[in-house]
């Protein structure tokens, strides 16, 4: 495709992570020193980066080395192992003699600790003119803010929705109908989506050929199940044993209808939560539909980690046993490991919920936009430590400019760290892999939602609400008539209790 800037992305799961035995961390100094300084000794570096994303440990070390060689400075990088919680280690480093100049922060809730402690630098205090421009160019919805100032440079953007294989759609509706189906799905109403799910489940379980209607267009199912359609066991593959399946990203769709972003969600009042009951009821209806039409019947088996954990759910989808998988682009490598033949024909479709306009409390947001969009968000930010020397702050600014604007820096971001740059131009950029390109297409069409649930009280989405859904609803074949209202009430009361609003 002429004029496109092709960015080759090797996904995060492919990165080898260096780790010190027994502690799951790696530390390196590059550009002039052979060993890293300790947190209590004298500094033998010019710039210290604390990286909390173990998946890109090697890539960050390599980027720091390249920057150090180019600028003639020594850069220390400390990375924890993949999946290791970095909070306590970062706190220790922040209270040491040699503090990191660049550190990571996930969202506005995590930011509070570092602003109250005087660590996170208000980026308006920057002195590097190129860095000031970098900050000014960050899209407003990607800012890390306390409501008054911006404190972070985004690592990258991620997105999620229902992943579908185009070849599966071809087996179901005919190859010549795939593009039309995808476009019609995006603008379809929830009622059309619900009827489609029920029709597909009947087709899978009973072989009843019929047709589905999306955005007023009719799509006839093949008279006989052949090819990939012949292996189907359900409409959805569900990671039933994972609490985040019901909390986190799925409930975020409802939270997005109530709050414009995570900052607003973090400042929620009891009145706002109660006004959002309709959105939470819509979530409950959508969860009921999804779990009732999964490859495994709802009940104890669906929440069994052996058969319906993270990896089994990915394998179920990758091996064409389900049509849809709710996941993000970060799952690409897991899908590839399960079945490499499927990855080039994957795309995202929006997660549908039965909202009415009255359910939506965000000014300017419509039901149509909710139905047609996927969440695209920043999972992590680089912050600059206000407590290091001015010289190191200036070097931190220079490094972040280099990483995010130069050809050399962007090569590390995209090819080695496997990121979709937050500042990529959707009109001229391709991620080079199917799910990344799908996210970019939603960005280009301005069909994106936020990650507002990140502002909920810590632990609410997964360990509280998600656990409640798993143990008391997904674990049960039949739901009581009051289930939708009960779920919404629990979402509100549990959030309010954890936030100290009751």
Q: What is the pLDDT of residues 410-430, one digit of tens each?
A: 999 988 887 899 988 888 888
The more confidently predicted of residues 454 and 485 is 485
* Residue 18 burial class via C-beta count within 10 angstroms: exposed 0-12, middle 13-18, buried 19 and up: middle
* pLDDT at position 55 over 80: no
- Tokens 């500094």 found at: 43
DSSP 276-345: THHHHHHHHHHHHHHHHTBSS-SSGGGG-HHHHSHHHHHHHHHTTSEEEEEEEGGGHHHHHHH-GGGGGG
* Residue 272 burial class via C-beta count within 10 angstroms: exposed 0-12, middle 13-18, buried 19 and up: middle
Q: What is the pLDDT of residue 52?
A: 87
The more confidently predicted of residues 458 and 136 is 136
Least confident of 132-141, 156-165, 409-418: 409-418
* pLDDT at position 168 over 70: yes
Least confident of 43-52, 295-304, 320-329, 344-353: 43-52
* pLDDT at position 408 over 50: yes
Confidence of residue 4 (pLDDT cuts 50, 70, 90): very low
* pLDDT at position 277 over 90: yes
Confidence of residue 10 (pLDDT cuts 50, 70, 90): very low
CATH of 5-154+379-421 given 3.10.20.600, 3.40.190.10, 3.30.70.260, 3.40.50.1370: 3.40.190.10
- Tokens 């495994």 found at: 296
For residue 63, give the 3-state DSSP assignment.
helix
Q: What is the pLDDT of residue 6?
A: 37
Q: What is the pLDDT of residue 83?
A: 53
Q: What is the pLDDT of residue 164?
A: 99
* pLDDT at position 470 over 80: yes
The per-residue pLDDT for range 96-129, each reduced to its tens digit, is: 999 999 999 988 878 989 999 999 999 999 999 9
**Residues forming CATH 3.40.190.10 domain(s) in the chain:** 5-154+379-421, 160-164+233-376+448-498
- How many angstroms separate the CA atoms of 26 and 53, rounded? 11
Mean pLDDT of 182-206: 98
The per-residue pLDDT for range 240-250, each reduced to its tens digit, is: 999 998 999 99
Q: What percent of the chain has pLDDT over 90?
A: 78
Q: What is the pLDDT of residue 84?
A: 66
Do 327 and 316 meet the contact criterion of CB atoms below 8 Å apart? no
pTM for this predicted structure: 0.82
Give 48's contacts (C-beta < 8 A, 6+ positions apart). 75, 76, 78, 98, 99, 100, 101, 102, 388, 392
Confidence of residue 324 (pLDDT cuts 50, 70, 90): very high
Q: What is the pLDDT of residue 414?
A: 86
- Which is it for strands 47-51 and 75-80: parallel, antiparallel or unpaired? parallel
- How many angstroms separate the CA atoms of 248 and 467, rounded? 11
The per-residue pLDDT for range 17-54, each reduced to its tens digit, is: 333 333 345 555 554 333 333 444 457 899 999 998 87
Return the CA Rg of the chain.
Answer: 23
* pLDDT at position 288 over 50: yes
Q: What is the pLDDT of residue 26?
A: 55
Q: What is the pLDDT of residue 431?
A: 86
* pLDDT at position 146 over 90: no
What's 258's DSSP letter?
A: H
Q: What is the pLDDT of residue 89?
A: 94
DSSP run (H or E) holding 213: strand 211-214
- How many angstroms separate the CA atoms of 176 and 222, rounded? 12
Q: What is the pLDDT of residue 33?
A: 32
Mean pLDDT of 464-469: 98
Least confident of 4-18, 70-84, 393-407, 421-435: 4-18
Q: What is the pLDDT of residue 28?
A: 57
The more confidently predicted of residues 148 and 214 is 214
Least confident of 28-37, 176-185, 260-269, 446-455: 28-37
| Reported CATH class of domain 160-164+233-376+448-498 | alpha beta
């Amino acid at each position: 495709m002429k004029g496109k800037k092709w960015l080759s992305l090797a996904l995060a799961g492919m990165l080898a992570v260096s780790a010190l035995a027994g502690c799951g961390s790696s530390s390196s100094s590059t550009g002039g020193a052979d060993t890293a300084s300790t947190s209590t000794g004298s500094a033998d570096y010019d710039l210290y980066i604390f990286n909390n994303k173990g998946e890109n440990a090697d890539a960050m070390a390599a980027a720091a080395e390249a920057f150090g060689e180019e600028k003639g400075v020594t850069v220390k990088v400390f990375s924890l192992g993949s999946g290791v919680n970095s909070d306590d280690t970062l706190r220790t480093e922040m209270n040491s003699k040699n503090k990191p100049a660049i550190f990571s922060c996930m969202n506005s809730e995590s930011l509070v600790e570092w602003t109250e402690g005087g660590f996170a630098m208000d980026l308006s205090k920057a002195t590097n003119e190129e860095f000031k421009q970098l900050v000014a160019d960050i899209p407003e919805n990607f800012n890390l803010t306390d409501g008054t100032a911006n404190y972070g440079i985004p690592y990258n953007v991620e997105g999620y929705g229902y992943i579908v294989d185009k070849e599966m759609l071809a087996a179901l509706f005919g190859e010549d109908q795939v593009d039309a189906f995808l476009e019609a799905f995006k603008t379809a109403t929830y009622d059309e989506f619900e009827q489609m799910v029920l029709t597909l489940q009947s087709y899978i379980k009973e072989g009843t050929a019929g047709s589905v209607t999306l955005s007023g267009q009719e799509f006839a199912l093949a008279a006989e199940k052949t090819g990939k359609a012949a292996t189907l066991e359900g409409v959805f593959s569900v990671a039933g044993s994972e609490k985040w399946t019901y909390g986190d990203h799925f409930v975020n769709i409802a939270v997005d209808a109530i709050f414009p972003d995570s900052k607003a969600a973090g400042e929620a009042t009891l009145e706002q939560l109660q006004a959002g009951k309709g959105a939470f009821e819509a979530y409950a209806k959508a969860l009921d539909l999804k779990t009732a039409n999964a490859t495994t019947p709802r009940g104890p088996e669906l929440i069994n980690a052996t058969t319906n954990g993270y990896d089994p759910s990915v394998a179920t989808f990758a091996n064409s046993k389900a049509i849809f998988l709710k996941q993000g682009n970060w799952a690409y490598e897991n899908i590839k490991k399960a079945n490499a033949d499927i990855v080039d024909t994957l795309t995202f479709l929006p997660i549908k919920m039965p909202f009415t306009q009255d359910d939506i409390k965000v000014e300017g947001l419509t039901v149509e936009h909710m139905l047609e969009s996927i969440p695209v968000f920043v999972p992590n930010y680089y912050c600059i430590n206000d407590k290091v020397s001015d010289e190191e702050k200036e070097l931190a600014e220079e490094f972040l400019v280099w990483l995010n604007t130069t050809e050399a820096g962007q090569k590390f971001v995209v090819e080695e760290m496997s990121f979709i740059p937050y500042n990529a131009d959707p009109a001229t950029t391709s991620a080079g892999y199917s799910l990344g390109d799908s996210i970019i297409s939603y960005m280009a069409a301005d069909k994106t939602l936020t990650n507002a649930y990140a502002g909920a009280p810590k632990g609410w989405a997964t360990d509280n609400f998600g656990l409640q859904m798993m143990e008391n609803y997904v674990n049960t074949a039949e739901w009581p008539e009051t289930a939708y209202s009960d779920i919404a009430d629990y979402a509100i009361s549990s959030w309010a209790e954890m936030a100290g609003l009751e």
